[in-house]
């Protein structure tokens, strides 16, 4: 069942953004450290474009670290200035559109997930559960969360390039959910090209393409089939068909890899054309990728941060392999926690994806604490920043403390939501009758 007034609310969100962009004046959001990081700042992009126009390498100096393709697309827009608006209004308008597309894709992904879920439940002969438990469309909720998330709005209005990175991640997940290997490969290659961290999402993407969208673990089907065989031995087709659901399909994965190679070559080719005048790809790899990857590894701390992302990839993949979409959400959240230059734009992405699991998350603990924690942090952080940088009355410790609190909140969110898929399946266990009835809910 879809949310009523979905379209009017989505339109209102887009309208709100437009109002802020067109009539908000210069809110100086683009220079706020929470909104734009050195990697996503549009001012730095404008500087890179200016350097390129002055027939210098955009990567000379240490202003711009982004992709050459963004320079190609957004660069010319940074030059145009209209009277009465802030400098990067055209880019902001593009970001409004990008946000809208991302929200629509999230909605479509939610639809896919719901269909898959209903099919699974049906194959488990839990039709009454389908009609009982699923009463809201998770996709609609997720896209509305993404559209109305204040952080997404701030990121969009503050014009930094993270909406585009988010869009690419969403395209990738949508493509994988609907088993469109070329689209998924395009999203994957672009997202990795833009910020590198989404590279770890290859695990959930391959799982999604191989197994299809989130399903209960194989064990459930086995229990079901065993209980089915107990009750009705002759009914062999059903159990075999229910096992088929979980079989890994190599074909889409193979397609994905082929397309990924194709898109990689294409992106590299485009980049080299863009950078043709100023040293080509060599320049890009030296000044952009290696600046982003290896320069971070300079000290122990940065290793700890960046390695922690990688540490968790495999254990989570093993544990959550039956729920690749959820796995993708956990990965994006972990990246948002631990990346070197975190911003609220990353949080906007994983909070939007969180909405896809609205049905399961209804059971989540600490929601009150988390909700007000997020609000508190997002109010306190500008205050502390102001005290430290502008007033000079507070020192850096206070600002650092809000950062710590933010990380803690995100950790709690990830851990709490990480429990949930198991819980939701205990529910299914309990619904499964004699085989699963002894499993009580964990909490």
Q: Is 84 in the site for other proteins (CB under 8 A)?
A: no
Near other proteins in 5-34, by CB under 8 A: 31
Read out DSSP for 213-244?
Answer: S----HHHHHHHHHHHHHH-TT-HHHHHHHHH
310 binds other proteins (CB under 8 A): no
Question: What CA–CA distance (Å, rounded) separates 78 from 46?
Answer: 6
Residue pair 135/1 in contact (Cβ under 8 Å)? The answer is yes
Interface with other proteins: number of residues (CB under 8 A): 49
Rounded to 5, what percent of the chain is helix, strand, coil? 75, 0, 25
What minimum distance in Å lies between the beta carbon of 305 and other proteins?
Answer: 8
Interaction of residue 54 with other proteins, rule CB under 8 A: yes
- Both tokens of residue 240? 């075999």
**List 5, 8, 19, 61, residue binding other proteins (CB under 8 A):** 61
Which member of 279, 418, 433, 435 binds other proteins (CB under 8 A)? Answer: 418
- As a whole number of angstroms, the distance between CA 163 and CA 433 comes to 46
Return the residue of 250, 389, 434, 437 that touches other proteins, per CB under 8 A. 389
Q: Report if residue 390 touches other proteins, rule: CB under 8 A.
A: yes
Window contacting other proteins (CB under 8 A); options: 17-25, 57-65, 89-97, 347-355: 57-65
Instruction: Please report, as residue ranges, which positions from 98 to 137 form the binding site for other proteins (by CB under 8 A).
Output: none
Choices 58-66, 161-169, 258-266, 370-378 (CB under 8 A): range interacting with other proteins: 58-66
How many CB atoms lie under 10 A from the CB of residue 237? Answer: 8
Under rule CB under 8 A, residue 294 binds other proteins: no
Polymer length of the chain: 443
How is residue 349 written in tokens? 């992405």
Exposure string of 398-427, with b = 16+ CB inside 10 Å and e = fewer, is bbeebbebbeebbeebbebbbebbeebbbb
Is position 367 an interface residue for other proteins (rule: CB under 8 A)? Answer: no
- Angstrom CA distances, 41 to 74, 248, 255, 284, 292, stand at 12, 41, 35, 18, 15
Q: Are 313 and 328 in contact (CB under 8 A)?
A: no
Give the shortest CB-359-to-other proteins separation in angstroms: 19
The answer to whether 304 contacts other proteins (rule: CB under 8 A) is: yes
Longest dimension (CA), the chain: 79
Would you count residue 429 as binding other proteins (CB under 8 A)?
A: yes
Residue of 134, 279, 411, 433 interacting with other proteins (CB under 8 A): 411
Identify the residue among 321, 422, 433, 435 touching other proteins (CB under 8 A): 422
Instruction: Give the nearer residue to other proteins in terms of CB position, either 245 or 387.
Output: 387
Q: Between 152 and 181, how does the x/- string for binding to other proteins read (CB under 8 A)?
A: ------------------------------
225 scored as a contact of other proteins (CB under 8 A) = no
Instruction: Answer for the pair 145, 351: CB distance below 8 angstroms, yes or no.
Output: yes
Indicate the residue among 297 and 400 with the shorter CB distance to other proteins.
Answer: 400
Q: Does 368 bind other proteins (CB under 8 A)?
A: no
DSSP type of residue 287: I
Residue 382: in which H helix or E strand, if any?
A: helix 367-385
Rounded alpha-carbon distances, angstroms, from residue 79 to 24, 83, 171, 216: 20, 13, 29, 52
Closer residue to other proteins in complex, CB, 172/413: 413
Smaller CB separation from other proteins, 199 or 291:
291
Residue among 192, 12, 219 nearest 103 (CA): 12
Nearer to other proteins, 190 or 420 (CB): 420
Residue among 258 and 302 whose Cβ is closer to other proteins: 302
Q: How far apart are CA 195 and CA 192, in angstroms?
A: 5
Q: What is the DSSP letter of 25?
A: -
* Interface region with other proteins, contact rule CB under 8 A, candidates 170-178, 357-365, 370-378, 385-393: 385-393
DSSP state of 248: P
231 binds other proteins (CB under 8 A): no
Other Cβ atoms less than 10 A from the Cβ of 270: the count is 15
- Measured from the CB atom, is 48 or 110 closer to other proteins? 48
**Among 8, 11, 25, 62, interactor with other proteins by CB under 8 A:** 62
Q: Please give the residue ranges that form the binding site for other proteins (CB under 8 A).
A: 31, 43, 46-47, 49-51, 54, 56, 60-63, 78, 301, 304-305, 308, 311-312, 315-316, 319, 337-338, 388-390, 392, 395-397, 400, 404, 407-408, 411-412, 414-415, 418-419, 422, 425-426, 429, 439-440, 442
């Amino acid at each position: 069942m879809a949310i009523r007034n979905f379209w009017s609310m989505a339109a209102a969100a887009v309208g709100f953004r437009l109002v802020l962009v067109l009539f908000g004046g210069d809110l100086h959001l683009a220079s706020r450290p929470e909104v734009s990081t050195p990697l996503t700042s549009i001012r730095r992009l404008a500087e890179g474009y200016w350097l390129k126009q002055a027939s210098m390498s955009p990567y000379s100096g240490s202003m711009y670290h982004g992709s050459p393709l963004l320079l190609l697309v957004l660069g010319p827009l940074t030059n145009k200035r209209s009277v009465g608006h802030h400098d990067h209004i055209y880019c902001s308008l593009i970001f409004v559109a990008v946000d809208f597309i991302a929200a629509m894709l999230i909605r479509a992904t939610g639809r896919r997930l719901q269909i898959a879920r209903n099919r699974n439940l049906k194959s488990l002969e839990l039709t009454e559960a389908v009609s009982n438990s699923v009463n809201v469309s998770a996709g609609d909720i997720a896209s509305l969360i993404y559209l109305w998330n204040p952080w997404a709005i701030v990121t969009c209005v503050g014009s930094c390039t993270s909406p585009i990175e988010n869009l690419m991640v969403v395209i990738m997940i949508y493509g994988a959910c609907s088993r469109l290997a070329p689209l998924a490969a395009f999203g994957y290659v672009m997202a990795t090209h833009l910020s590198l961290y989404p590279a770890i999402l290859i695990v959930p993407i391959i799982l999604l393409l191989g197994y299809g969208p989130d399903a209960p673990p194989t064990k459930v089907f086995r229990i079901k089939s065993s209980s089915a065989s107990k009750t009705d031995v002759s009914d062999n087709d059903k159990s075999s068909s229910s096992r088929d659901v979980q079989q890994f399909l190599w074909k889409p994965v193979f397609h994905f890899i082929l397309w990924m190679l194709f898109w990689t070559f294409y992106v590299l080719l485009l980049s080299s054309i863009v950078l043709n005048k100023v040293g080509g790809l060599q320049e890009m790899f030296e000044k952009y990728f290696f600046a982003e990857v290896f320069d971070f590894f300079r000290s122990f701390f940065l290793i700890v941060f960046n390695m922690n992302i990688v540490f968790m990839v495999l254990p989570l993949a093993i544990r959550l392999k039956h729920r690749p979409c959820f796995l993708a959400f956990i990965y994006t959240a972990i990246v948002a926690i631990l990346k070197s230059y975190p911003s609220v734009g990353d949080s906007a992405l994983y909070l939007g994806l969180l909405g896809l699991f609205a049905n399961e998350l209804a059971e989540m603990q600490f929601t009150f604490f988390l909700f007000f924690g997020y609000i508190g942090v997002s109010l306190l952080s500008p205050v502390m920043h102001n005290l430290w940088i502008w007033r000079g009355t507070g020192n850096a410790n206070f600002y650092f403390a809000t950062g710590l609190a933010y990380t803690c909140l995100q950790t709690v969110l990830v851990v709490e939501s990480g429990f949930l898929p198991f819980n939701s399946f205990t529910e299914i266990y309990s619904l499964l009758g004699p085989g699963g009835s002894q499993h009580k809910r964990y909490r």
